Chains A and B, each alone.
Chain A
Amino acid sequence: MTQDKTAQRPVRILIAKAGLDGHDRGAKVIARALRDAGMEVIYTGLHQTVENIVRAAIQEDVDCIGLSILSGAHMTLFPELLNTLKKEKAEDIVVFGGGIIPKDDIEALKALGVKQVFIPGTHTQYVIDWIKANVPVSE
Chain B
Amino acid sequence: MVKKTNDAPPFFKSPSYRAWREKVYASQKERKAHFESISFRDQPELVTPENGGSVDYAADLGNPGEYPYTRGVQPTMYRGRLWTMRQFAGFGSPEDTNRRFKYLLEHGQTGLSTAFDMPSLMGYDPDNARSLGEVGREGVSVATIEDMEILFGGIGLDQVTTSMTINCTATVAFALYFAVAKRRNISFDKLGGTIQNDMFKEFIAQKEWICPPAPSVKLTCDVIEFCSQAAPKFNPVSISGYHIREAGATAVQELAFTIADGLGYVDHCLGRGMKIDDFAPRLSFFFDVHNDFFEEIAKFRAARRLWARLMRERYGAKTDAACKLRTHAQTAGVSLTAQQPVNNVARVAMQALAAILGGVQSLHTNSMDETLSLPTEDAVRVALRTQQIIADESGVTNVIDPLGGSYYVERLTNEIEAEAMRYISQIDAMGGMLHAVEVGFPQKEIAEAAYKFQLGVDAGEQVIVGVNRYSEGGEQEIPILKIDHSVEKQQIERVKAFKEQRNKAAWSHAIESVESACREGRNVVPVLIDAVEVGVTLGEVSDIYRKVFGVYTDPGML
Contact = CB atoms under 8 A, between A and B. Distances in A.
A119 interface: yes
Given A20-B119, A25-B450, A31-B558, A73 B458 contact: no
Interface stretch (A3-11, A44-52, A57-65, A86-94): A44-52
Interface string A35-58: 100000101111101000000000
B337 A46 contact: no
B556 A43 contact: yes
Contacts of B374: 72
A138 interface: no
A76 B450 contact: no
Interface in B331-359: 334, 337-339
Interface stretch (B131-139, B398-406, B514-522): B131-139
Contact of A121 (B122, B130, B339): B339
Interface residues of B, number: 44
Nearest to B371: A120
Contacts of B132: 76
B464 A72 contact: no
B248 A22 contact: no
A137 to B, nearest CB: 22
Interface in B460-482: 464, 467-468, 475, 477, 480
Contacts of A103: 475, 477
Contacts of B80: none
Nearest to B129: A49
A64 B394 CA distance: 53
Contacts of A41: 558
A55 to B, nearest CB: 15
Contacts of B246: 25
A65 B374 CA distance: 27
A45 B553 contact: yes
B207 A25 contact: no
Interface string B518-558: 00000000000000000000000000000000000111101
Contacts of A49: 130
A32 B247 contact: no
Contacts of A76: 132-134
Given A25-B246, A46-B556, A123-B458, A19 B338 contact: no
A108 interface: no
Given A25-B246, A47-B553, A77-B133, A100 B483 contact: no
A112 interface: no
Given A20-B121, A120-B371, A124-B458, A72 B137 contact: yes
Contact of B118 (A19, A25, A45): A19
Contact of A20 (B124, B553, B555): B124
Q: Which of A28, A31, A75 has the most CB of B within 10 A?
A: A28
B133 A19 contact: yes
A46 B122 CA distance: 12
B450 A29 contact: yes
B17 interface: no
B339 A47 contact: no
Chain B contact surface mostly? loop
Contacts of A46: 207, 554, 556
Contact of B467 (A21, A73, A121): A121
B138 A71 contact: yes
A94 to B, nearest CB: 21
A45 B306 CA distance: 35
Interface string B444-461: 000100110010011000
B474 to A, nearest CB: 12
A102 B372 contact: yes
Interface in A76-122: 76-77, 100, 102-103, 119-121
Q: Which of B371, B464, B475 has the most CB of A within 10 A?
A: B371
A73 B488 CA distance: 12
Nearest to A46: B554
A83 to B, nearest CB: 13
A71 B337 contact: no
B48 interface: no
A19 B134 CA distance: 8
B208 interface: yes
Contacts of B131: 20
B451 A32 contact: yes
Contact of B480 (A23, A47, A102): A102
A135 interface: no
B293 to A, nearest CB: 22
A100 B137 contact: no
B538 to A, nearest CB: 13
A41 B558 CA distance: 10
A125 interface: yes
Q: Which of B337, B339, B451, B464 has the most CB of A within 10 A?
A: B451
B206 interface: yes
Given A25-B450, A72-B483, A123-B468, A100 B130 contact: no
B373 interface: yes
Interface string B137-148: 110000000000
Q: Which of B248, B337, B558 has the most CB of A within 10 A?
A: B558
Contacts of B122: 20, 47
Interface of B: 118-119, 121-122, 124, 130-134, 137-138, 206-208, 246-248, 334, 337-339, 371-374, 447, 450-451, 454, 457-458, 464, 467-468, 475, 477, 480, 483, 553-556, 558
Top-7 shortest CB links A-B: A76-B133, A45-B556, A22-B207, A45-B554, A72-B137, A20-B118, A73-B133
21 contacts: A20-B118, A20-B122, A20-B134, A22-B206, A22-B208, A23-B207, A24-B554, A29-B248, A32-B558, A35-B558, A41-B558, A46-B207, A47-B122, A71-B134, A72-B137, A72-B138, A76-B134, A100-B373, A102-B373, A120-B337, A121-B338
Given A20-B130, A73-B134, A76-B133, 13 more contacts: A22-B207, A24-B247, A25-B248, A35-B558, A44-B556, A46-B554, A72-B138, A72-B373, A72-B374, A103-B475, A120-B371, A121-B339, A121-B467
Interface of A: 19-25, 28-29, 31-33, 35, 41, 43-47, 49, 71-73, 75-77, 100, 102-103, 119-121, 123-125
